Amino acid sequence: MNYIGVDLGTSSVKLLLMEHTGKILNSVSREYPIYFPKPAWSEQNPEDWYKETILGIKELIKDFDKTSIKGLSFGGQMHGLVILDEKDEVIRPAILWNDARTGKECDYLNNEIGKDKLSKYTANIAFAGFTAPKLLWLRNNEPENFNKIKKIMLPKDYLAYKLTGTFSTDVSDASGTLLFDVKNRTWSKEMLDICGIKLEQMPKIFESYEAIGCLKAELASELGLSSDLVVAAGAGDNAAAAIGTGTIGEGKCNISIGTSGTVFISSKSFKVDPNNALHSFDHADGAYHLMGCMLSAASCNMWWMDNVLNTKEYSKEQEDIDDSKLAKNHVYFLPYLMGERSPHNDPKARACFIGMTMDTTRADMTQAVLEGVAFGLRDSLEIARKEGLVIPETKLCGGGAKSELWCKILANVLNIRVAKLESEEGPSMGACILAMIACKEYESLEEAVSKIVKLSKTIEPDEDIAKAYELRYKEFKELYPALKDSFNSIGA
């Protein structure tokens, strides 16, 4: 049997058609716009997601036996606020995960409600991208829209609602709203009250691998698919990517270098970082995970290549950076193009180059961008290490994983083995696996990933390079604290 995985990303929706064996039959990607109506704002039109997803599914399956397609599920960009009125119409553009307008609301939640209470209610504190601060912003700034709200949902759950008519979400995505009791896997009454939200405005909670329903009959007819096609709840993009890389169980790690960058550490038991620098979320495997998130990762390289160097030849720009140059660059790059989440929780943080001299080259600047992202990811890994977690190896996914140079830099900056995968489909592959479990293709996620997820290459750190990067990382860590006051002034 075959399955469809839908990865609803920030810049595009990526669709995968996969056999139950893990063989990829087809993939399709369709882009949609992102809007920045004001500085630090980031929005999209949910109808664009749905339109491009439907067109993408048609393209994906046109040359295949449609009767063989048994299930569908999702991975999706997290934290976005999608609101519908009593007519099921979208009230306003979705406010995205990388939107930083909610500084005042985060200050209110963290300082007046208090971080201790937030952590008690949700296992997390307020970050600018989370959903609860967006609702408070809406209540404070667009009360007419706030009062129209009938349904509150996350981006992928809007697709699920349009496909099935089921008003749902899953535990991993709900964990990133700051409205969810992560430990007990239920909505937090206290947080709903703080935000002025009623329980009936919130979707029903499912485990990521549970079926939420089947395709609407009229949509099944339009697509040429069975109305018995099972739709599973799916997961937030990072949890879905973790499933797609086999990151389940105790102490497994996955690093994603996509638009954002994440360090994802799976756990069989509920854990909370005492300083809340790492997120404590429910995992799509029915257990838990800790996650550090930097807001700009591969997007830093894209910005540098597309906007500054004005080139699409990413590989060519890295050709002059060989092993002899690793850890010897005198330029640093702080990767805070959209502010930063883990570990600084500072929407006013800004990106910058530091250390340029008259002999600085184009390749030095390119290398600094790649290293800066690696250092930012290490910030999160260091917090996990301080909590006693031993992480000898990580899987790697996302667009940045396609760069051999970046993989080598990561292995040495983090000083751990980096395992690359035969298939780097990430969230869409994880979504396919979740659909398989919902359809009972496999008895468990453990069985599914053991048969489907395969490694292609492991990169070991070089002892001398890793030691040199240790010194450079210590210097990198001193830069943000030294510049924080300046960032606050610039941001104001």
Q: For residue 51, which phi and psi values (nearest 5 degrees)?
A: -60, -50
Q: How far apart are CA 243 and CA 270, in angstroms?
A: 18
Q: How far apart are CA 451 and CA 432, in angstroms?
A: 13
Radius of gyration of the chain (CA): 22
- Two tokens, residue 280: 């404590």
User: Which residue carries 């800790």 as its tokens?
Assistant: 290
Distances (CA, A) of 16 to 49, 244, 365, 433, 462: 16, 12, 35, 11, 36
Sort strands 253-257 and 235-236 into parallel, antiparallel or unpaired. unpaired
Q: Is residue 294 annotated as involved in ligand binding?
A: no
Point out the catalytic residue in the list 237, 273, 285, 379: 237
Nearest alpha-carbon partner for 373 in 239, 257, 245: 257
- Residue 237 annotated in active site: yes
Contact (CB, 8 A) for 82 and 46: yes
DSSP 368-431: HHHHHHHHHHHHHHHHHHHTT----EEEEESGGGG-HHHHHHHHHHHTSEEEEES---THHHHH
Q: Is residue 429 annotated as involved in ligand binding?
A: no
Map residue 461 onto helix, strand or coil.
coil
Label residue 460 left, alpha or beta by phi (over 0 means left) and psi (-120 to 50 means alpha): beta
Q: How far apart are CA 75 and CA 68, in angstroms?
A: 22
Active site positions, annotated: 237
Binding residues for substrate: 78-79
